[in-house]
Amino acid sequence: NFMLTQPHSVSESPGRTVSISCTRSSGDIAGNSVQWYQLRPGRAPTTIIFDDNQRPSGVPDRFSGSLDTSSNSASLTISGLMAEDEADYFCQSSDRNIYVIFGGGTKLTVL
Amino acid sequence: QVTLREAGPALVKPTQTLTLTCSFSGFSLLTNGLSVTWIRRPPGKALEWLARIDWDDDKYYNSSLKTRLAVSKDTSKNQVVLSLTNVDPGDTATYFCARLRRGPTGYNYFDFWGPGTLVTVSS
């Protein structure tokens, strides 16, 4: 199985843009879709990106996902940061579309 | 409206079996392409996928926990049950259930999650 590596933490000021990376250790990042989930204390996790760059209905377009095959990584970008975006973010992919692999998670602090 | 909710004991003693129930509404687990999955998050750590049960009763497990896990469904009650045997303090975590569906590109993703239930393993 491969691993997904994320930065432990990122921080940025309200209104600014922040990106969180998710690097795949082996195999092609495009070999299976990448998803991103938001976890806030006391709330059910929320899916904010699926299929690399698709937003479920209800997720603001301030959130976007992309792949960079040159670095074998995926990225979540949040623009126009708001205080409510402060949360833990996890990337996720799968082995053979069955065995789920999560990144280590990134804590986003909105300064 | 799809909802899921986990239920189970808040405290379990080491060596006991943990049994969790995921009750869901807004969909049927007889629907082609749908699955329910269990995921946990130990305090301050990453998410860890545990198990999955498909609409056709196929089951898949995390290889490192496979010998201790069992998942089943009761479609008449709209419930999925997870059991984890021989627990130890390392199994202390918030346990989530989530619906898994196939996206437009054919890859699976979690689209709805329960709020989670915290389970502490301690004597």
Could you list the pLDDT tens digit for every one of the 123 residues in chain B? Answer: 999 999 999 999 999 999 999 999 999 999 999 999 999 999 999 999 999 999 999 999 999 999 999 999 999 999 999 999 999 999 999 999 999 998 888 888 999 999 999 999 999
Average pLDDT over all residues of chain A: 95
Per-residue pLDDT tens digits for A90-109? 999 998 888 999 999 999 99
Can you tell me whether residue A89 is helix, strand or coil?
strand
pLDDT reading at A65 higher than 90: yes
User: Is B46 within 8 Å of A39 when comparing Cβ atoms?
Assistant: no
**Closest in B41, B46, B111 to A47, CB measured:** B111
Provide the pLDDT for residue B50. Answer: 97
Average pLDDT over residues A74-88: 97
> For residue B50, how far is the Cα from the chain centroid?
7
**Closest in B49, B103, B112 to A51, CB measured:** B103
A25 Cβ neighbours under 8 A, 6+ residues apart: A2, A3, A4, A5
Per-residue pLDDT tens digits for A6-32? 999 999 999 999 999 999 999 999 999
Q: Are strands A18-24 and A4-5 parallel, antiparallel or unpaired?
A: antiparallel
* CA angle, A81 then A83 then A85, to 5°: 65
Can you tell me whether residue A45 is helix, strand or coil?
coil
Q: How many CA atoms lie within 13 A of B92 on its CB side?
A: 11
**Is-contact B33 B101, C-beta < 8 A?**
yes
Instruction: Determine which of A1, A50, A55 to mutate to test the interface with B (most B C-beta atoms within 10 Å).
Output: A50
Provide the pLDDT for residue B106. Answer: 85
B91 Cβ neighbours under 8 A, 6+ residues apart: B12, B18, B40, B84, B119, B121
Amino acid at the residue A108: L
Average pLDDT over residues A57-73: 96
